[in-house]
Amino acid sequence: MLKLYGSMASPYVARCAMALREKNLPYELAHPPGGTQSPEFLKISPFGRVPALEDGALAVPESEVICEYIEDRFPETPLLPRDPGGRVRSRIVSRVVDLYLLPSAFALSRQSDAAQRDDHLVSAKLVEFSHALDALEHTMDAAPYAIGDAMTLADCALVPAVFHVRRIMPQFVPDPFSERERLARYEGFVTGNQTLAALLNEMQSAWNEVVRHRAAAGTA
């Protein structure tokens, strides 16, 4: 069976889990053996990051590569549009989420302590975050799927991203989607979609666990 390493608290892991579920592929969610920095796991994921996927003897690190691998290996129930233009837009959404939206949001979340805040960094990351949202708004359809008329890998990247942005950004940007019509509509689609409810519940439980853990360690 396919083995996906990581926790559903990670948007990158949730992205791959969503792609596997959309294709009805059975998989096992597992903790990295010995932790993310163990010699054993570094052979699977060279940067010691989750997710990583194991398909028999093949180890696949990096969520973007994992999603593209799942699509190539299991083409039934395609998760990329048929037309090249749609495929490009789906990939742009995934890249913007990966390279600009989540990194800027996570960088800001690490600046939540006002007493130790680097104001210069916060300003720069806020610009990057806003730019990423503008790029998504420009690229996506949200009618209701991110691209085209069915679920794609763009949704697999965006659904967990919308979930995390809502939870980690309020201190800096109270309502990041409201002024962007497509993103606002998309968030409504995500929260109201019955087939996504189980995935979102698992993400919420895993996230609650992280928050509890941080509070207990005094790093909230």
Binding site for ligand GSH (CB under 6 A): 10, 12, 36, 49-51, 62-64, 98
Residue 5 β-bridge partners = 30, 52
Which among 34, 33, 36 has a CA at the least distance from the CA of 10?
Answer: 36
Q: How far is the CB of 37 from ligand GSH (least distance, A)?
A: 7
Instruction: Give the DSSP letter string of 115-165.
Output: GG--HHHHHHHHHHHHHHHHHHHHH---SSSSSTTS--HHHHHHHHHHHHH
Closest contact distance (angstroms) between CB of 114 and ligand GSH is 24
How is residue 121 written in tokens?
Answer: 């960094």
Nearer to ligand GSH, 62 or 187 (CB): 62
CA dihedral 35, 36, 40, 42 (to 10 degrees): -170
Nearer to ligand GSH, 36 or 104 (CB): 36
Token pair, residue 138, equals 């420009």
Q: C-beta of 65: minimal distance to ligand GSH in Å?
A: 8
Which one, 36 or 152, has the nearer CB to ligand GSH? 36
**Nearer residue to ligand GSH within complex by CB, 184 or 206:** 206
Closest separation in Å from C-beta 146 to ligand GSH: 18
